[in-house]
Chain A
Amino acid sequence: MLDYLLSQLLNGLVIGVIYAVIAAGLTIIFSILKIVNFAHGEVFMAGGYFSYFAIALLGLPALMGIPAAMLLCFLMSLLIERTLLTPLYSPKTERKGDYGVLATFGVSILLRNLALLVFGSYPLRPPSFWSGSLIVGAIYLTWDRVFAAGFGVLLLALLVWFMYRTPWGEALNAVGQSRESASIVGIDSTRFYRLAFGLGGALAGAAGALVGPIYSLSPSMGLAPDTQAFAIVILGGMGSVPGAIIAGLLIGLCENMFVAFFPDPSRALTYAQAFSLVVLMIVLLVRPTGFFGRRHMAME
């Protein structure tokens, strides 16, 4: 029983780290641009495919698929931001939040169908980063999962360092609080909008590349993690990177423990996502702003 519990706990941590990476990207975009990016799941999906084709077509080593996916997702996000999101910065645009939702929702549908058209509906499986499994007693975990969790933790640590220990992170935080105040101290907010959207995309791309060898790739693979990421961002407090990390781990753990101990195992997986939403509802009843949420969050 203890081995089973530990196995579920470790698997929960792995998926929790992946959730945290996706949600951290989503929350950065929200905190700076003040929009909910509905295309985030599709950028995650694209990251998986970019990694796959970087390995399969260019012959890169499996590990290099991750930086390739991050770079391409960063560039793709910049393209989306430059072509569709610049009206958000204009004082002439009314209801910016609504505009952001509609624009990114459109991009999400476009990307998913493009993937279906270009890559087909059959699942693709990139090669393992690290083949084999970790077996300790009755605890069983593939090395790909261990690697994904380790790399995810490294990415999150780098992100926290960037956000809280570098002048660029400090400026990004300032732009998120007030574009007008940032301009007063000489910060060009537009550059930071670009950086935030690109950075969020790169994180989603990294997560897509990391889960490829674990779950396979498909055009609709971004739908479920995207929904979970929204719940995680709200749970952690909208706009908070540490909140997204903690909530991601929590949701990953809760989800796995729920599946492990649900009385009817044949239905457990079906209800897993609903269970994380129950956790979200309970937390919001006690803390309406989530763990580390800020009260004011609207585009100026």
Chain B
Amino acid sequence: MPVSDSNGIELTARDLVAGYVAGINILNGMSVDVLRGEVRCVLGPNGTGKSTLLKVLFGFLQPVSGEIVRNGKSLVDVPSHRMGQYGVTYLPQRPSIFPFQTVEANLRLGTWQFRKNRALAAERTEAAYARFPVLRERRRQLAGTMSGGQQRQLEFARALMTDPAVMLIDEPTASIEPRVAAQIYELIAGLARDGKAILLVDQNIKGALGIADHVYVMRTGTLLEEGPRAQFTADVEHLVARWLYTR
């Protein structure tokens, strides 16, 4: 089992520069720390590189320069399908469930990395059903036929099958009705209380600030400002104005 840093830092990224096309960088020296038991939230206007940051951290996009470290090991060259072995999972903006497979099969695929350990897989599946009872009720249903909120629950349940230390979450409440969105934020806050290190990227500023311990504000691929939640919750309008008008 990976052992975290003594300061509680589970994942750290320094001076990340990355882009999809050579010569055009979306991230321009972005740095973040993800701490055990905390929700760290990345806010910023559209197109500023928030989702790209998560893709780089999870190995979907190779950075041009910069460093990503977990437990003293560089993750820069680790392919995305091996990130789970390093205790990192990722929930993209579009639910990453397998819509043409049953809920049961989706959860089973969540145990792919330790599929030969059937006892552990069964134990984790049972824990997932206990945490999300609706998934047990719908275990034989095709995942793609469930509601958006239920699909998100399935995605969280599947992500938790590997008991990750670090969760990278991108806009978890996009296209989700407000009542269910509140439940999802509560779920994320609960996961942090359980000791998970969470990096949350969100457009729903009020929802994200409601559960964040620490906030990063991005603009054009760099860090505009950061600080504890209290620094930002007092005047959300002012925060938005700052990222809209700061050059």
Contacts and interface: CB of A to CB of B under 8 A. Distances in A.
B98 A178 contact: yes
Given A91-B20, A171-B109, A189-B81, A184 B97 contact: no
Contacts of B89: 184
Contact of A186 (B20, B84, B96, B98): B84
Contacts of B80: 180, 183-184
A170 B115 CA distance: 12
Interface in B105-163: 105, 108-110, 112-113, 115, 158-159, 162
B97 A171 contact: no
A294 to B, nearest CB: 6
A189 B112 CA distance: 13
A183 B92 CA distance: 12
B196 to A, nearest CB: 16
A216 interface: no
Nearest to A164: B105
Interface string B60-83: 100000000000000000011110
Contacts of A180: 60, 80, 92, 96
Interface in A154-184: 167, 170-171, 173-174, 177-178, 180-184
A181 B210 CA distance: 29
Contacts of A173: 98, 100-101
Contact of B109 (A91, A170, A294): A170
A183 B100 contact: no
Contacts of A91: 20
A91 B79 CA distance: 14
Interface residues of B, number: 28
Given A180-B92, A185-B109, A174 B20 contact: no
A188 B79 CA distance: 9
Given A170-B101, A171-B109, A171-B112, A181 B82 contact: no
Question: Among the interface residues A183, A186, A188, which one has the most CB atoms of the partner chain B within 10 A?
Answer: A186
Contacts of B112: 167, 171, 185-187
B99 interface: yes
A67 to B, nearest CB: 28
A185 B100 contact: no
A298 to B, nearest CB: 14
A235 B156 CA distance: 37
A178 B96 contact: yes
A170 to B, nearest CB: 6
A183 B55 CA distance: 12
A180 B81 CA distance: 9
Contact of A177 (B79, B82, B101): B101
B90 A184 contact: yes
Given A185-B110, A185-B112, A189-B81, A177 B99 contact: yes
B85 interface: yes
Contacts of B92: 180, 184
Interface in B1-60: 20, 58, 60
Nearest to B113: A186
Interface in B172-226: none
B99 A186 contact: no
Contacts of B105: 170
A167 B115 contact: yes
Q: Which of B20, B60, B98, B158 has the most CB of A within 10 A?
A: B98
A177 B143 CA distance: 12
A294 B96 contact: no
Contacts of B58: 184
A177 B172 CA distance: 21
A294 B99 CA distance: 10
Contacts of A189: 81
B109 A183 contact: no
Nearest to A167: B115
Contact of A174 (B109, B115, B159, B162): B109
B85 A186 contact: yes
A58 B212 CA distance: 71
A177 B98 contact: yes
Given A173-B101, A184-B96, A186-B84, 13 more contacts: A170-B108, A170-B109, A171-B112, A173-B100, A177-B101, A178-B96, A180-B60, A181-B97, A181-B98, A186-B82, A186-B112, A186-B113, A294-B100
Interface of A: 91, 167, 170-171, 173-174, 177-178, 180-189, 294
**Among all A-B residue pairs, the 7 with the closest Cβ atoms:** A181-B96, A186-B113, A183-B80, A183-B81, A186-B84, A188-B81, A177-B98
20 contacts: A91-B20, A167-B108, A170-B109, A173-B98, A174-B109, A177-B99, A180-B60, A182-B81, A183-B60, A183-B81, A184-B80, A184-B84, A184-B96, A185-B113, A186-B81, A186-B82, A186-B113, A188-B81, A189-B81, A294-B100
